[in-house]
Amino acid sequence: MINAISGDSDFIKEMNNSLFTGFVHSTFNRTLNIKCFESGDLFTIACRKLDNGPNTLIVNVDNMKSGKIEVNDRVRVVKNLLFIGDKLTISMDQINEWEGVLPSYPSNEEILKRNVKKMKDYINLHGVGGGMKKKIITENPFEAEVSNMLEKRTYFLMNELVANRISSALPHAVSLVGLGPGLTPSGDDFLTGLFTILNMKNSPLYPNKKLICEEVLRKAKTLTNDISYMTLKKAAIGKVRESLITLLNSLLIEDDEDLILSLNKLLNIGSSSGTDIAYGIVFGMEATIRAGGKVC
């Protein structure tokens, strides 16, 4: 038996308040995903090297491969114990509840503007190419075409968003879903970053977030894979990984070291996922700043 160290409050509630049964949907070195029969949602068990996130339990192991867990293994929760077949039992007796709360959009944008500029410079220099960040020399025509399409579609999306033409912006946002290499396609990661910003209270684009996020999500169901969809679904209501929230908090204060540390943690996610999310955040911030008073 192993211990859960921390867990998303929604996940814990789900397990405590109702029946929770399911099966192992997918396994990776550091995480495994469970599909819950009752809610139809995906939940993640992640090793201790990873950060907290929506629908995620962090457990006290270094990797998830040692227990020989396989796809389709049955999962059930009984009292404070989560069973994966007869291969692994996770105790939640010592769990710390984690709740990810996004900071509000600041009333004074000056520090934010400076930090967004620094962040953009930093990801342009240190981000991973191949998705939102164009590689100088692309490895193949597929990669080149993906980068071109991402560039064009985000350009049109920005134009419509800052002009407050939300209905025209939606098709461009939808056209990013499922676009790009990786388990979570670059377009999805970008939208995760954008959705995060749209969900910051007091932002000029906040009144439109419901319309944008819900509509994109509605279309996204069939346009991307289950894992990526779940991330988008949560981001659409402002539920994102701890590393994103930490970065947003860093963007609101004047502390360069803190900003770079937070940014490095984000950029380390996946292959190019962290970079693609970072571009989504920068895009969301720029759109919000440019929209300014026009939208409210």
Provide the binding-site residues for another protein, judged by CB under 8 A: 26, 28-29, 65, 118, 120-122, 124-126, 130, 134, 136-137, 139-142, 145-146, 149, 175-185, 187, 222-227, 256, 260, 270-273
> What minimum distance in Å lies between the beta carbon of 144 and another protein?
8
Q: Is 135:147 a contact under the CB 8 Å cutoff? A: yes
- Taking the least distance from each CB to another protein, the nearer of 102 and 259 is 259
- Taking the least distance from each CB to another protein, the nearer of 5 and 269 is 269
> What minimum distance in Å lies between the beta carbon of 78 and another protein?
28
Count of positions (residues) in the chain: 296
Cα Rg, the chain, nearest whole Å? 19
Q: Is 75:67 a contact under the CB 8 Å cutoff? A: no
> What minimum distance in Å lies between the beta carbon of 80 and another protein?
29
What's at 280, amino acid-wise?
Answer: G
> What minimum distance in Å lies between the beta carbon of 222 and another protein?
7
> What minimum distance in Å lies between the beta carbon of 136 and another protein?
5
- Taking the least distance from each CB to another protein, the nearer of 92 and 232 is 232
- Taking the least distance from each CB to another protein, the nearer of 104 and 142 is 142
For β-strands 2-8 and 96-98, DSSP reports them as parallel
- Taking the least distance from each CB to another protein, the nearer of 15 and 132 is 132
CB atoms closer than 10 angstroms to residue 37? 14
> What minimum distance in Å lies between the beta carbon of 158 and another protein?
12
User: What is the token pair recorded at 122?
Assistant: 């930093």
Pairwise CA distance, residues 31 & 43, whole Å: 10
Pairwise CA distance, residues 177 & 232, whole Å: 10
- Report helix angle 273-295 to 256-267, nearest 10: 120
- Tell me whether residue 93 is exposed, middle or buried, using C-beta atoms within 10 angstroms of its C-beta: 0 to 12, 13 to 18, 19 or more: exposed
- Taking the least distance from each CB to another protein, the nearer of 24 and 236 is 24
> What minimum distance in Å lies between the beta carbon of 30 and another protein?
8
Task: For the chain, give percent helix, strand, coil, nearest 5.
Answer: 45, 15, 35
Q: Which position has the token pair 């700043």? A: 289
- Taking the least distance from each CB to another protein, the nearer of 55 and 208 is 55
102, 243, 259, 107 alpha-carbon torsion, rounded to 10°: -10
